[in-house]
Amino acid sequence: MDDAHSAAPAWLGDPNLLAAFWRYERALMTNDVAELDELFARGGTTVRSEAGSALVGHDAIASFRAARPPVPLRHLRRVHLRPISADAAVIIAETIRGDRGTGVQTQLWQRVEGLWEVTVAHVSTVPGLQFSAPKLTAAEERAIWATPEARRPLVESVAHPDAVAHPDAVAHPDAQAHPDGTGRVGSLAGVRVAVKDLFAIAGERIGAGNPTFLAGKSAETTTSPAVAALLAEGAEITGLAQTDELAFSIAGTNVHYGTPPNPAAPGRIPGGSTSGPASAVALGLADLGLGTDTAGSIRVPGSYTGLFGLRTTHDAVSREGLVPLAPSFDTVGLLARDLPTLAAGARAILSTGSTAPGNSADAARSDSAAPPAAISTLIVDPSLVALADADTQASFEAGLRALSLASGTPVVQTSSAIDPAELEVWFDAFRLVQQFEAWVSDRSFVEANPGALDPAISERFRVASGLTDNQALDARLVLARATVRLEQLVPPGSALALPSTSGPAPERDASPAEIDRVRGATLRLTCLASLSGLPALTLPFGRVGTLPVGLCLIGARGADQALIGLATPRA
Amino acid sequence: MDDAHSAAPAWLGDPNLLAAFWRYERALMTNDVAELDELFARGGTTVRSEAGSALVGHDAIASFRAARPPVPLRHLRRVHLRPISADAAVIIAETIRGDRGTGVQTQLWQRVEGLWEVTVAHVSTVPGLQFSAPKLTAAEERAIWATPEARRPLVESVAHPDAVAHPDAVAHPDAQAHPDGTGRVGSLAGVRVAVKDLFAIAGERIGAGNPTFLAGKSAETTTSPAVAALLAEGAEITGLAQTDELAFSIAGTNVHYGTPPNPAAPGRIPGGSTSGPASAVALGLADLGLGTDTAGSIRVPGSYTGLFGLRTTHDAVSREGLVPLAPSFDTVGLLARDLPTLAAGARAILSTGSTAPGNSADAARSDSAAPPAAISTLIVDPSLVALADADTQASFEAGLRALSLASGTPVVQTSSAIDPAELEVWFDAFRLVQQFEAWVSDRSFVEANPGALDPAISERFRVASGLTDNQALDARLVLARATVRLEQLVPPGSALALPSTSGPAPERDASPAEIDRVRGATLRLTCLASLSGLPALTLPFGRVGTLPVGLCLIGARGADQALIGLATPRA
């Protein structure tokens, strides 16, 4: 353990109890019936309930277990611990399967002669969502898609000569062999991708969430490498999906095209700026969303719509053909309903990384050929967690306990916490550089088209236009130091866990003051990966009431796939 | 409380905790949201799980509760209590709704500042069974029905001029106004009845479970009053259903017609002798089974197939037109999947009671016009419970706890328990009189048709044929004294609770020795209501593993409807 880290946080719970729970979870995943029987208390009073009835007695439960098929592989999404006494506790585990089916498992654990065992259990599950095409209004269609239905899918899948079925290729029911004559299947065969309307696709015009921008564009002549990489693995593009205007927002609203629906939190914003892909994937209209993340534009919609999302290491994926916002921070990212799809997408796009020095502080690059170092420590910084709303903090703890148990990875609390005042300095510097670069990126468009932008976005550019080179230079120096601090905090082989957003999605009609508060609190969390260029994975493990809120992992540079590996359920 | 009864049995649990549970249950049934909120622990750590996810925190749970519709009325089927400490316990409640939907509710109760409150809850439910016509083999059809499909339904519903919709008429989806021009609906409109093939129906021949018996019969010219009473309330007869041969068995097997399937316990016998109606009702081919109970012929199949069953007070229902077995004990009874249907059927047939002195010891009669005295005490006799298998005893306790909680009726343990040796004397006397009377009833048929009977049934008649009048007289004196004892044990306003059978249904291919053991143990339980003529209600509340086993209530003479009232869920 790194010197900067102290012991596990107290809320994690009694290590012996958690070890017993972990043994149980592992035995469940490997269908180790003998071990499961061992962990259930002997005798006639043990109760196991499921659906509409209870089985009473160890023998009846063992008979049931011997006869049932193995439990499907699943994520532990949240694990709640409720101690009763030194020798008794209830553990509630919320789970989610690859097919989006969910479950809850309530267990009374009691310590008998020094050993923890289950004396009462109750399990319930719901099947995976069946994505029959949702009925959308014309306004919802327009808010999600930049390309009208008649023109989707835009691009036929192309057979990549090197595409081979990956050993853990996504098992999509409609996956077919590519018509390249080799019989080989790309790892994304059958996967439908919603591409944020910032990426170049040959023959298509880029809209960037603004009609005037679109009107001024002609059709692209080349396709962005990230898009091409997905196509090469057999993915199909379902359409270009909407973005917040010029990607300069994390709300998921757009005055020109409307707000895409958030099926996981009806009546609430979906988060942005990768709003259209998030909505499309959450609705089941696409399986994978290709987007960008500058200040949180993958992580925020992922958190708000209950999706897995990856912000890749800065420069690990090519940004060629992409409309820039703030190149020092701009990254390509992905959203998916399940982790195998996200993993397959990540493998594809991470092969496109530029080798030229990027704009971020550090030049270390992800090497997609070398297997990333496995992550063996989860780090938590209480001062970062404290930035979230109280309910979100509690849910975060349950989620982190779940991740620790499912992956067998210890959680340690850092002793070199980020001071709130220090974070404020970093955040100000980040925002300044982002605005400075955004003005560089969009100045010509903004100046040439007065009145074309949402007044709120316009105001951001007005502020940005007043920044000086010296201000930007000072801020970059702050960010360079902050990056060193963060790299020390998250060495290779570790991941920093924090809430993806300060809370669940605000209501669509929340007051501007409330929206601002949420935006400020969330950006203080998201800016850490953004300013340092480190990869970040958001997991849909948290809930406040019924609303999703993500758990975020920040990894060392290039640890994109290691983060996914950490979160992947194992038998 | 009667002097013969001591305090509540210890296994029932802490009265304060049960009172809190009962408050909760009542509040749930009346949708008293404020009371439910009060009983859930305040603060952010309370967890309520259902289906695939958990709600965390009192406020989130309260919001959920305020928005949901009232919980449907339900039976508490079993309540399991698992004490953890003086201040903590888990209560698991299994429930069943009128539509046969089931549920389980696991709650962690903790005592805080002297008050019990719920800190963790987990609820799961399964919808009611959808009785789409099951696919039956020809052999199964023949084992269930005495009348071929082409001849069913046999009798059209007839409009009774006095039939009016009962205020708590069974809400059958296909209930229609009777075509009598009054627009009034019988309380059994739309209810399909399977009639045990022992009852006279004008135009039909009675088979009594034996082909030779059937061959010797001509069509009946009148209809039994019990059958007519159901028809008068708008019921429809779906068919005559099979019985064990001459009703002289509780197994549910028949060498001539086969064993009707037991859908609640596949591969196991359905119990008898009301086997065909039990199978038909359990399969959803009928809604109500009309049968008889001499030594347990309603209660045993009810217990084995998971149905509600009523053995009526002796002579409270007319036995006119019924093939007798042992008239001192013969009673008419009913089976149903739900209690409202059973209650409506009971109201109908209890109006037919003979006023002539019956053959049983006591002449007190049920008066269907006067409301039966409500039952305010549940009595348990540990020596009777001990006759059941160990798992069945445990399930019985959970069932009785459930009934006590749901009805708000205290349980007391009798201090004048029935001594096992004494019970043995009663049982021998009961069996002797039953055999003696059976020989009187069937001698002419048995003697005229050698070889027509199952050898096992034949052997029972051979034993019976050797009994003398003096033996029968002595036995009747024993039964008269036993009846007085039982009437003292179960005074009006009380009910004696005991397992309906000694265990769940034996396997169809169980050894003869095992069948005999189960039969002997079960008859010792069922003979109590039989020998005394008291009414008995079997409730499908028990389970051993996944197999149903009934909980039986014996009431005072004429308390048939009071027993049903006790078990009826109340809001």
The two structure tokens encoding residue B504: 């769940």
CA distance A300 to chain B (A): 22
Class of domain A10-126: alpha beta
What does CATH list as the number for B139-381+418-567?
A: 3.90.1300.10
Residue in the block written with tokens 């008995």: B536
Return the residue of A nearest to B106 by Cα: A122
Q: Is A108 on the interface with B (CB under 8 A)?
A: yes
Cα B235 to Cα B194: distance, rounded to the nearest angstrom: 10
| pLDDT, tens digit (0-9, with 9 covering 90-100), for A31-83 | 999 999 999 999 999 999 999 999 999 999 999 999 999 988 888 999 999 99
Question: Cβ of B84 and A543 within 8 Å?
Answer: no
* Percentage of chain A lying above the pLDDT 70 cut: 88
Give A390 to chain B, closest Cα distance, Å: 9
* For A548, nearest residue in chain B (alpha carbons): B53
Across the interface, of B52, B88, B92, the residue whose CB is closest to A84 is B88
- Give me the pLDDT at residue B127, please: 84
Question: What is the spatial distance between Cα A253 and Cα A278, in angstroms, rounded to a whole number?
Answer: 12
Contact B106 A122 (CB under 8 A): yes
Residue A176 has pLDDT above 60, yes or no: no
DSSP B450-482: TT-S-HHHHHHHHHHHT--HHHHHHHHHHHHHH
Residues B32 and B571: their CA atoms lie apart, in Å, by 10
Mutate to test the interface with B, among A104, A393, A397, A546 (most CBs of B within 10 A): A104
Residue B154: the pLDDT is 57
Is residue B182 pLDDT above 60, yes or no? no
Quote the pLDDT of residue A569: 83
pTM exceeding the 0.90 threshold for the entire prediction = no
- Tell me which residue in A57, A101, A106 faces B122 most closely, judged by beta carbons: A106
- Tell the burial category of B531 from Cβ atoms under 10 Å away from its Cβ (0-12, 13-18, 19+): buried
pLDDT grade for A120, boundaries at 50, 70 and 90: very high
DSSP state letter for B507: B
Counting Cβ atoms within 10 Å, is residue B527 exposed (0-12), middle (13-18) or buried (19+)?
Answer: buried
Higher pLDDT, B182 or A403: A403
The candidate with the shortest Cα–Cα distance to B54, out of B106, B126, B89, B109, is B106
- A131 three-class SS: coil
pLDDT tier at A354, thresholds 50, 70, 90: low
Torsion of CA B353, B355, B360, B361, to 10 degrees: 130
Query: What is the distance between the alpha carbons of residues B70 and B571, in angstroms, rounded to a whole number?
Result: 11
The verdict on A443 touching B (C-beta cutoff 8 Å) is no
Amino acid making up residue A487? E
> Dihedrals φ, ψ of A562, to 5°?
-65, -35
| Subunit contact B84:A80, Cβ cutoff 8 A | no
CA A296 to chain centre: 10
Task: Compute the nearest-CA separation of B62 from chain A (Å).
Answer: 10
Q: How far apart are CA A289 and CA A197, in angstroms?
A: 11
- Which of B285, B321, B333 lies closest to B145, judged by CA? B285
Chain B residues touching A544 at Cβ < 8 A: 60
Mean pLDDT of the B549-561 span: 97
For residues A325 and B185, the model is more confident at A325
Q: State the smallest CA–CA distance between residue B61 and chain A in angstroms.
A: 8
Please tell me the distance from the alpha carbon of residue B309 to that of residue A319, in angstroms, as a whole number: 74
Please tell me if residue A102 touches chain B, with a CB cutoff of 8 Å: yes
Contact between chains at B546 and A53 (C-beta distance less than 8 A): yes
CB proximity under 8 Å: B 60-89 to A = 60, 63-64, 78, 80, 82, 84-85, 88
pLDDT band at residue A97 using 50, 70 and 90 as cut-offs: confident
Q: What is the structure's pLDDT at B134?
A: 78
pLDDT at residue A162 greater than cutoff 50: no
Mean pLDDT of A469-484: 97
Nearest Cα of chain A lies from the Cα of B54 at a distance, in angstroms, of 7
Cβ of A54 and B545 within 8 Å? no
Nearest residue of chain A to residue B85 (CA atoms): A85
B47 close contact with A: CB closer than 8 A: yes
Q: pLDDT band at B178, cuts 50/70/90?
A: very low
Domain boundaries defined on chain A:
10-126, 187-356+374-381+418-567
Chain B residues in contact with A394 by the CB 8 A cut-off are 44-45, 56-57
Architecture of domain A187-356+374-381+418-567: Alpha-Beta Complex (3.90)
